[in-house]
Amino acid sequence: MDLTQQPRLAAAWPWISTLARLGLAAVFLIAGGLKVTDLAASARAVNAYDLMSYDTAKVIGAVQPFLEIALGLLLLIGIATRLSAAIAAVLLVIFIAGIISAWARGLQIDCGCFSKGGELTGGRTAQYGLDIARDVGFLALAGILLWKPKSKFSVDGLLMGDR
Amino acid sequence: MSKGNRGRDRAAAQRIVEQQKAAERRRQVTIWTSAGVVAVLVIAGLIGWAVLAGQEKKTDASAVSTPSVAVDDGTAFAVGTGPVTVDIYEDFMCPICHSFEQQTGPTIAQMVTDKKVTVRYHPVSILDRASNGTEYSTRSAGAAAAAAVDGKFLEYHNVLFENQPAEGSDGLDNAKLIELGQSVGLGDTFATAVNEGTYKSWATKTTETFASRGFNGTPTIVVNGKQVEGPGNTLPTTEIFTQAVTAAAG
């Protein structure tokens, strides 16, 4: 049983990693793409977390969407996959920490993950639990790539001469 | 016999050399691609920085035409002459602002008449994303500034809320904004300012000021420097608002 399972699983990993890679790429491309069109709103979303001065929030809010899109593209083509996944994981941990801190301080904000965020008014309640669960799911995708970075249709594979 | 052995040894040695070569190549690829990834991310960050710097230029004091009638660092329009200052930050696209106007607007108007409060209206544009790219929030805030210049701020403010478009729609086009202006007696100078977007950059700057003061949502209602909210970040009822004004009046 094991003897027949092992090679099959070994053959499946690159495909699993490919799905994880493309999924994570989509997450970052969408998140960045939604924010890049309105950097002022992105700055306000960062500012809503109330963790830094508005001037700092402005810079983070402007840089973050471009960084997310770049990382998404790098994951999409699959170059230095392990490093890209590590950077994605670090970003996701920072985002999760930000949401937890907002939750702990009792702020009522929209996380701004896939939106331009801001304070919630008029009876909309924050969905911190769901936001965190979603980000942890993305973190798991990054984890798969950190563990098994080899994937199909990647620049890495091309350069390493994998078939 | 010995020849065969030597051949085998040579083949094995060659295999080891090839394996080492392949491992070395993998190392090289890893180093260079990693350097590439870091470089791409640094460049992306710099692009973000540069785009931000470009946008900052647009809201430089020199680039913004601030209405002369604006108060509070040129960000608001004052109505009334009472001792208590009420700051109201509103986006003309924001449905809850509309609710607040319907709910508490008459009370505020009465307070102004009774000379209890000075209301400073700050039109902000935080909902541009909710008008399909027509930037209704910015256009309407700019139009309100143009109305203020011609002395009709409050009338126009009210008519904008009465005709509020649905969030997520295209908003009202400039022609409609001008038509509403005409209904409250605004004329050609107003129409020109709306069509040319004279005060759009002013609206962007006002929104910046709003954010830099640590406010994130609309409506934000501040009485004598203290933000007034209902329980759990909700809209304050008229009662809560009135209590805040009474307390501020001392």
B76-134 per-position pLDDT tens digit: 999 999 999 999 999 999 999 999 999 999 999 999 999 999 999 999 999 998 899 89
**DSSP state at residue B90:** E
- Chain B residues closer than 8 Å to A83 by CB: 33-34, 37-38
The arithmetic mean of pLDDT across residues B26-54, rounded, is 96
Residues 6+ apart with CB under 8 A from B51: A39, A62, A66
- What is the average pLDDT score of chain A? 89
Interface check for B126 against chain A (CB to CB < 8 A): the answer is yes
Q: In whole angstroms, how far apart are CA A42 and each of A36, B60, B96, B104, B140?
A: 8, 20, 22, 31, 21
Res. B6 pLDDT band, cuts 50 70 90: confident
Q: Tell me which residue in A50, A62, A83 faces B48 most closely, judged by beta carbons.
A: A62
HSE, side-chain direction, 13 A CA sphere, residue B229:
16
Q: How is chain B split among helix, strand and coil, in percent rounded to 5?
A: 60, 10, 30
Residues 6+ apart with CB under 8 A from A11: none
Res. A1 pLDDT band, cuts 50 70 90: very low
Residue B62 φ/ψ, nearest 5 degrees: -70, -30
Residues 6+ apart with CB under 8 A from B9: none
- CB B86 within 8 Å of CB B247: no
- Chain A residues closer than 8 Å to B234 by CB: 121-123
| Model pLDDT, residue B173 | 96
Contact B234 A121 (CB under 8 A): yes
The Cα–Cα gap between B70 and B209 comes to: 14
Q: Tell me which residue in B26, B38, B40 faces A160 most closely, judged by beta carbons.
A: B26
Interface check for A145 against chain B (CB to CB < 8 A): the answer is no
Tokens of B243: 């209590």
| Model pLDDT, residue A116 | 62
| Model pLDDT, residue A125 | 67
| Model pLDDT, residue B46 | 97
Looking at the predicted structure, is the pLDDT value of residue B245 above 80?
yes
Q: How near does any CA of chain A get to the CA of B221, in Å?
A: 12
Interface check for B45 against chain A (CB to CB < 8 A): the answer is yes
| Model pLDDT, residue B141 | 97
The arithmetic mean of pLDDT across residues B205-217, rounded, is 91
The Cα–Cα gap between A119 and A49 comes to: 9
| Model pLDDT, residue B217 | 85
pTM of the model: 0.87
The residue in chain B having the minimum alpha-carbon distance to the alpha carbon of residue A41 is B126
The residue in chain A having the minimum alpha-carbon distance to the alpha carbon of residue B217 is A119
Cα angle at B216 between A68 and B161, to 5 degrees? 120
Interface check for A70 against chain B (CB to CB < 8 A): the answer is yes
Interface check for B28 against chain A (CB to CB < 8 A): the answer is no
Helix, coil or strand: residue B136: helix
Q: What is the number of residues in chain B? A: 250
Q: List pLDDT tens digits, range A119-149.
A: 655 556 678 899 999 999 999 999 999 999 9
- Chain A residues closer than 8 Å to B22 by CB: 161
Q: How near does any CA of chain A get to the CA of B21, in Å?
A: 12
The Cα–Cα gap between B207 and B64 comes to: 13
Burial environment of residue B133 by CB neighbours within 10 A (0 to 12, 13 to 18, 19 or more): exposed
- CB B87 within 8 Å of CB B72: yes
Contact A66 B47 (CB under 8 A): yes
Mutate to test the interface with A, among B24, B29, B32, B33 (most CBs of A within 10 A): B33
| Model pLDDT, residue A112 | 72
Interface check for B105 against chain A (CB to CB < 8 A): the answer is no
Burial environment of residue B175 by CB neighbours within 10 A (0 to 12, 13 to 18, 19 or more): exposed
The mean-pLDDT minimum among A3-7, A22-26, A152-156 falls in A3-7
Tokens of B168: 């997520």
| Model pLDDT, residue A120 | 59
Interface check for B51 against chain A (CB to CB < 8 A): the answer is yes
Contact A121 B26 (CB under 8 A): no
Q: How near does any CA of chain A get to the CA of B116, in Å?
A: 27
Q: Where are the alpha helices (DSSP H) in chain A?
A: 2-36, 39-48, 54-77, 81-104, 128-147, 155-160
